[in-house]
Amino acid sequence: MNSPTVLRVAVCSALGAMMLPGGSDAQAQERTAALDEILVTAQRRVENVQEVPISMSVFGAADLEDGGVKRIEDFIGQVPNVYINFNSSIRTTAISMRGIISDPNSVGIDPAVGVYVDGVYMGRPTTVNVGLHDLERVEVLRGPQGTLFGYNTIAGVLSFVSRLPGDEPEFAVTAGVGNLNARTASAVANLPITPGRVALRGAVQYEKRDGFLRNLAGPDNNDADNLNGRIALAFTPNDELSVVLRADAARDRTHLGGVEVWVPSPLFAGEPFNTPHDLDPWDRVINDSRSSFQDRDVFGASVEVNWDIGPGTLTSITAYREFDWNNFQTTDKSPFDIFGTGITEDQDQFSQEIRFAGTAGDRIDYVVGALYFTQTMQAEAYADVGADAFSPFGAPLGANPAPGTGFIDIRTRAESMAAFAQVDWRVTDALQATLGLRYTAEDKTINHQLFGEPTGTFVPSVPLNRFERSDREPSWRAGLQYFVNDDVMAYASYSRGFKAGGYNAFAFQIVQADGTPADFEPEFVDNYEIGVKTLLADGRVRFNASAFLMDYRDLQVNQLIPNAQGVIDFQTSNAATAETKGIELEIAARLMTGLDLTVGYGYTDAKFKRFPGATPGGADFGGNRLAQSPRQSLGATLQYRHSLTGDWDLMARGEYIHRGRRYSDAANSPALEVPAYDLVNVRLGFERNDGTLGAWLWSRNLFDKDYASSRFFGSPAFAPGAIFQNIGIERTWGLEVSYRWAGR
C-alpha cells in the first residue's frame, strides 16, 4: 500500500466515524451506547485519557483479551509512530518511537524508550519482550516524559499495569493449539483471604512452538519456549492505607538467531559452498552449522504502598529486579564451523521511588517525588573462530590455523538519583497550565578487559581498564490546556528530555587513539507538541490528533572510530543532530451496537540534520533518514459482537497493520532498504454471555505475506558481500478455548 493510499484510509475512517448520527436521533442513542471511559495514570494520578495533554495510546483489559494478546508484538502494530524491530534476538528487541531508536545490544547504552511494569523501570531492553497476561492496561506515551518518568524516556514510555487482587473469587484457564506444533496455556486465580482487607492473585502463561526457519544443518530456528508468571498480595488494613506485594518471573529457552540470506556471499557462491537455501530469500530455509540458542531468566519483586494523608496520597515503590542471559549464534550463516558470537549477561537493579500527589485549594494539583536507582551488570561477549575458518577443505589456510575465542569482559555499575515536581494550575474553569521539572544525577563506572583463548593465538590481551563518568542534567515540561467544552480539549506543550551518556562496552579497546575512554555524552531533545482530544456523536466517537516537532542534539549514533592501536572500531558517539516531525491520529467509534472501529495513523519524517564524519572516509549523513523509522504507520481494528439465541455471543475481529519502508542503517544503503508491509489478523469466536466458556479460531498474517523487519551486511572477514535479513513469521493459525469461574 503506497503512502497516499494509507493516508486516505486514515482520513476516510476519521470522516466516516465523525458522520455518525448525533443527539437528534433519540432512537439511535438508545440502540448504541457511548464508548467506555478510559482511565490512565500517565501523570501519576488517575485521570480520564481525554483530559491528559499527552499523545498516547491505551489498551485496556478487554482490548488485550479480545485481541488474544500474549506478547508485545500482538498489539504494537496498532500504535501510530511506534515500531519494534523484531530481529533474531529477544535480547535486542528495539523500540522506535517517532523515529528514534537506541542500540539495544551494548550494556553501556541506555534505551530511548522507558519501559515500566507496575511503576517499576526496566533497566535493560532484554526484559521487554516477555509474556503479557492478566494485564489491566497498557499505556503508550509518545514524546519525552522526563518530568514524571524521567530515567531514559527521551522518545517515550511503554507502561504495563497488571491486575490487582480483588474481593471476588475467580479462576480462569485458557488452552490453545496451532500450526508449527504450537501449544499455549494460561491460568489466573484470585483468592480473597479476608474480604475487603487481604486478597491474593496469581497468573501463569506458557507458550511452545516449533521454529519457522527450517535448518538443514541443525535444529529449526526462531521457535518459542517460554514460561512466565506473576503473583500479587494486596493488603488494606484501613481505608487510608493499601499495600501491594508483587513478584514475577519468566524463563525462555529458544533457538532464536536464524536469519535468511538476502544476498549470498561470493565466498560461498561456488562449489562446495553453495547451498539451495541461498536461492530463495523467502523460503524460510537456512543451512546453519552450529545450533543457535538464547536462554533468558527474569525475576522481579516490588512493594507498593499508598497512604491517603491530608490533601493527597503518599506513594512508595520499592523494587528489585534481575535477569540472566546466555546466547550464541553464527555470523557466517553457513553449513561450516567458521565464526560465531555470543553474549552472557547478568543484571541486577534496585529502585526506590517516593512521591506525593495532592491538591492545594480548588485549582492546583501537584506531584512531587524522588527516585533512587542502581544497576549492576556483568557481561561477557565472545567471538568464536571455528576450525573451518582456516581449513574449509581439510587443509590449513593462513599463518594461524588454530581456532580460538576472543572475549570482552565487562563490569558496569550505574547509580542515579532524581528529584521531580509537576504542578497543574486551573487558571480558569477552561484553561489549565502545567509546569514540571526534574533534576537527575547519575554516576557510571565500567571495568573492561579483552583476552583470548588459547592465549595470544586469536586476539591480543588488553589489560583491565576502569573508567568513571557523571551526568547532572535537568529536564522539564511546560504546557497549556484549554477545555472548549466537556467533550473537546486542546493542548500545547514544550518539553526537554535527555538520555544519559555511557560507554562503548563492546568495543575491542575501550581506550581511543587519543588516550581518552571510548565513552559518549548525554543526548538531548526539545519537543514541541500540539493536540486535540474530542468526543463526538454523543460519546460514540473518540477522535484525538497531535502534531510534533522534536529537535535532537548530541544524538548518540554509531560510527567507525580508530582505537589506541589504530584499529577501526564500531562505536557510539555524539556526532549528530536530528529532527523528527509528524502527526498522530487516533479514532475509536461505536458504529452500531456491538460494532466497534479503531484506527491509528502516524506519519514521521525523521532525518539527520548533521552527521559529519559518519565513516572513516569523512562522509556526512546529513539529510539521511534515521534507521528503522518508517514514515507511515497505520493500524485498524474492526470488531463485531452479537448476541445469538440462547446464552451465547458471536465475536468476529479483524486487524490491519501497515508499516512503511525504512532503512536498516544510517547510511541509507539501498541494499539495506526494507520494503513496506501489510498484515491482516483475524479472530472468530463464540462465548457465553456470562463469560464462563469461550472458543476462538484465529490467524495472524492471514494472507501469509513475506516481510522483513531489518537487513544487515555480513561480516567482511567471514561472510564478505553477504546481506542477511530478519524475516517475519509465516501465517499462523490455531484454536483456543477458555473457562472462567467467578464466585459471588
Q: CB-based contacts of 368: which residues, under 8 Å, 6+ apart?
A: 355, 356, 420, 421
Domain residue spans of the chain: 3-742
φ/ψ of 18, rounded to 5, equals -70, -25
Q: CB-based contacts of 269: which residues, under 8 Å, 6+ apart?
A: none
**Residue 403 confidence (pLDDT):** 58
Q: What is the pLDDT of residues 447-502, one digit of tens each?
A: 988 777 665 555 666 778 889 999 999 999 999 999 999 999 999 999 999 999 99
How many helices (DSSP H) and strands (DSSP E) are in the chain?
3, 40
> For residue 741, how far is the Cα from the chain centroid?
33
Please tell me the distance from the alpha carbon of residue 496 to that of residue 659, in angstroms, as a whole number.
28
Q: CB-based contacts of 338: which residues, under 8 Å, 6+ apart?
A: 289, 330, 331, 332, 385, 386, 388, 389, 392, 718
Please tell me the distance from the alpha carbon of residue 329 to that of residue 384, in angstroms, as a whole number.
10
Amino acid sitting at position 742: A
In DSSP notation, 603-671 reads EEEEEEEE-TT-STT----TTPBPTT--SEEEEEEEEEEEE-STTEEEEEEEEEEEE--EESSTT--GG
Q: What is the pLDDT of residues 223-241, one digit of tens each?
A: 999 999 999 999 999 999 9
Q: For residue 506, what are the CA distances in angstroms to 280, 598, 681?
A: 34, 43, 39
Q: CB-based contacts of 317: which residues, under 8 Å, 6+ apart?
A: 118, 119, 120, 302, 303, 304, 305, 351, 352, 353
**Residue from 303, 260, 267 nearest 285 by CA:** 260
**Residue from 366, 374, 360, 463 nearest 417 by CA:** 374
Please tell me the distance from the alpha carbon of residue 349 to that of residue 378, in angstroms, as a whole number.
12
Report the CATH architecture of 3-742.
Beta Barrel (2.40)
CB 94 within 8 A of CB 72: no
CB 385 within 8 A of CB 407: no
Please tell me the distance from the alpha carbon of residue 440 to that of residue 475, in angstroms, as a whole number.
8
**Residue from 63, 57, 137, 45 nearest 98 by CA:** 57
**Residue 149 confidence (pLDDT):** 87
Q: For residue 421, what are the CA distances in angstroms to 23, 140, 320, 371, 434?
A: 42, 22, 24, 12, 11
| Residue position matching grid coordinates 559529519 | 612
CB 67 within 8 A of CB 683: yes
In DSSP notation, 101-133 reads ----S-TTS--SEEEEETTEE-SSGGGTS----
Amino acid sitting at position 700: R
**Residue from 280, 219, 229, 230 nearest 255 by CA:** 219
Surface-to-core class of residue 637, CB atoms within 10 Å of its CB (0-12 exposed, 13-18 middle, 19+ buried) = buried
Between CA 403 and CA 413, with CA 407 as vertex, the angle to 5 degrees is 170
Surface-to-core class of residue 185, CB atoms within 10 Å of its CB (0-12 exposed, 13-18 middle, 19+ buried) = middle
**Residue from 601, 610, 723, 618 nearest 657 by CA:** 601
**Residue 262 confidence (pLDDT):** 80
Q: CB-based contacts of 29: which residues, under 8 Å, 6+ apart?
A: 23, 538
DSSP, collapsed to helix, strand or coil, labels residue 559 as strand
The H or E element spanning position 4 is helix 3-18
**Residue 30 confidence (pLDDT):** 46
**Residue 425 confidence (pLDDT):** 96
**10 Å Cβ neighbour count for 645?**
5
Which residues of the chain, if any, have pLDDT below 50?
A: 3-4, 6-19, 21-30, 271-272, 393-401
* Terminal Cα-to-Cα distance of the chain (whole angstroms): 51
CB 213 within 8 A of CB 220: yes
**Sign of the alpha-carbon torsion through 566, 567, 568, 571:** negative
φ/ψ of 384, rounded to 5, equals -115, 115
Amino acid sitting at position 582: G
Give the up-direction half-sphere exposure of residue 239: CA atoms within 13 A in the CB hemisphere: 0
**Residue from 210, 47, 98 nearest 730 by CA:** 210
Q: For residue 136, what are the CA distances in angstroms to 64, 160, 177?
A: 9, 8, 25
Q: CB-based contacts of 279: which residues, under 8 Å, 6+ apart?
A: none
DSSP, collapsed to helix, strand or coil, labels residue 26 as helix
Model pTM score: 0.91
The secondary structure of residue 100, as a DSSP letter, is: B
Q: What is the pLDDT of residues 500-558, one digit of tens each?
A: 999 888 776 777 767 778 889 999 999 999 999 999 999 999 999 999 999 999 999 88
Cis peptide before 272 (omega within 30 of 0): yes
| Residue position matching grid coordinates 562446495 | 272
Q: What is the pLDDT of residues 89-129, one digit of tens each?
A: 777 777 889 999 876 677 888 888 999 999 999 888 766 77
CB 127 within 8 A of CB 323: yes
For residues 248, 251, 256 and 257, what is the CA-based torsion angle, rounded to 10 degrees? 70
